[in-house]
Amino acid sequence: MKLKDITKIEFWIATALYGIAMLMLISNSGEGISSTYLSSFFLPEIFRYSILYFSFLLLNFCVFPALFKQQDKSLPIVLLIALFLATGLITGIFNTYKDAYMFERFDNLTDAYNYFFLKGFKYSTWLILIISIYFCLKRLVIYLNDDEKKVQDANNQMKLDAVGGGGVWFVGLLLLLATGARFEIILGWTLVTFASIATVIYSVYYLIPLVKNMGKSFRSYFWKVLLLTLISCIPMGLIALLFGHGALPAIVALIHTGTQLIVSSTLSWYIYKKRTATTTELTKLRTELGQSDASLSFLRSQINPHFLFNALNTLYGTALQEKAERTGEGIQKLGDMMRFMLQENHQDKIFLTRDIDYLNNYIALQKLRIPRTSEITIETQIEDHLNKLQIAPMLLIPFVENAFKHGISLQEPSHIKISLQTQEKTLYFDVSNSIHFKKDNDPEKMQSGIGLNNVKRRLELLYPNQHELIIRENAKEFFIHLTLQF
């Protein structure tokens, strides 16, 4: 997925959540709103949600992207400082209205205002910190997914797993902050979540492979997880005791134990089994592909290109000597097509002009074998100037092949129309043809060529989110429209 698509999704999700929060706040206010309720709860909550929403938009879409770019960073830094101060001041002011009952607990107004504004700036700090963590996690995921080889690397896959776990923690943290949860709950959620992430990663990449290599089962793995969980309860309890009080260490240890034994252990086992099955399947496919490549290379080695082209040139010269111009033209087109198949078809990308040459040669050969009659109409509008665009080879020919296979009949009126144009870095390709179904005894009935399903799959793999393929069919005509962005 492209960055601009992620940005759109982020914006609409944030806007939808903001709208839902506002609707819930208004609906909970009831039919009438007293002045006390308005000043002590309704308006402060509206401003809190609004500050959260607009801070996310400003930081995620403007400030942090500018800080990541190699350019003058003075403006985003100024915006960041201004946002911190504005958020702290506004939050502090509305805290004085929302928690006005707390003024009685302080000896003087100065201490009270210091408390409220300090709380507001703490909220501002947490807000900026959380959004920055979210932005960094998003950038890391995009970076690791940019290259397929990076994703396949075990270390980067481990980083992706850690980022995914961090995303789960972050979403839970946002929900807890939005609902005004106590610090002890946030601390417990953080400790248990990070422990779960560590357990899953350690199990998937080390513990489960070790158990499997020893020939042990899930039971052996479960007991090892239980031992690790009991050991980890000690540092988690100390952290909970350091930042919390009362029964928090015991509660965290209890929740931690249940989460690791029930959730983390089973999730780790499932992830490992799923990835092992996927890896096995990929290895099998690569082996089969390697065998196919070897067979293709062997076949290519049996065809001496020099002998083939020399023979075609000899036939071409003989045809010209015998004044068989159409035969000579057909041999020349066939030679160009064979040269393309042997030299360029195995490449990942070729210039679009070369693929168009192959397309034109194929059409010319088909015209040679089709009788010249007014009942058969073949129109081509293929643009000559195609810039330096590159395309996967043999991507367009199946549509033309399909048109000649089903669109030409010697007994009925037939037509084929082919159009290809480019505009900047976008290709527009249209093929329409009449439909004439082959008879059962026709030798071409069982020859499907490369096939449209194969082309659809290639487009999905090679040009994800970069193409649009429209196929329409009725009783008399078949039509395809392909838009391809390079």
Cβ(438)–Cβ(444) below 8 Å: yes
Last residue of a domain, which of 84, 118, 146?
146
Confirm whether 407 is domain-assigned.
Answer: yes
Q: Count of domains in the chain?
A: 2
Position 417 scores a pLDDT of: 94
Please tell me the predicted confidence (pLDDT) of residue 478. 92
Domain limit, last residue, from 146, 181, 204: 146
Q: How far apart are CA 3 and CA 173, in angstroms?
A: 24
264 has which bridge partners?
none
For residue range 109-145, what is the model confidence (pLDDT) as tens digits? Answer: 888 888 888 888 888 888 888 788 778 777 776 766 6
pLDDT at 100 (0 to 100): 75
Q: pLDDT value at position 104?
A: 79
What's the confidence (pLDDT) of residue 309?
56
114 occurs within a structural domain:
yes
* Assigned domain for 105 exists: yes
* CATH number of domain containing 469: 3.30.565.10
Any domain includes 231? no
Q: Residue 264: pLDDT above 50?
A: yes
Of 96, 116, 146, the domain-final residue: 146
Q: In which band, very low, low, confident or very high, does the pLDDT at 280 lie, cut at 50, 70 and 90?
A: confident
**Does any domain span residue 48?**
yes
Report pLDDT for 353.
Answer: 87
Is residue 376 predicted with pLDDT exceeding 80?
Answer: yes
pLDDT at 449: 42
pLDDT digits (tens, 9 = 90+) for 86-96: 988 888 888 78
The whole-angstrom separation of Cα 137 and Cα 472 is 43
| Residue 272 domain-assigned (yes or no) | no
For residue range 304-333, what is the model confidence (pLDDT) as tens digits? 554 455 556 666 666 666 677 667 777 777
Other Cβ atoms closer than 10 A to 188: 22
Res. 292: pLDDT tops 70: no
pLDDT value at residue 227: 92
| Residue 418 pLDDT level (bands cut at 50, 70, 90) | very high
Contact 478, 403 (CB under 8 A): yes
Is 119 domain-assigned? Answer: yes
How crowded is the C-beta side of 98, counted as CA atoms within 13 Å?
18
Task: Please report, rounded to a whole number, the percentage of residues in the chain having pLDDT higher than 90.
Answer: 12
Cα gap 346→140, rounded to integer Å: 34
User: Which of 279-283, 364-368, 436-440, 448-452 bottoms out in mean pLDDT, i.e. has the lowest?
Assistant: 448-452
Q: Is pLDDT larger for residue 263 or for residue 4?
A: 263
Residue predicted with more confidence, 229 or 166: 229
Within-domain flag for 421: yes
Q: Residue 181 pLDDT more than 80?
A: no
Q: Which amino acid is at 343?
A: Q
- Confidence class of residue 431 from pLDDT cuts 50, 70 and 90? very high
pLDDT at 432 over 90: yes
- Per-residue model confidence as pLDDT tens digits over 46-93: 887 888 888 888 888 888 888 877 567 788 888 889 989 998 888 888
Domain containing 457 equals: 374-438+445-485
Provide the pLDDT confidence category of residue 153 given band limits of 50, 70 and 90.
low
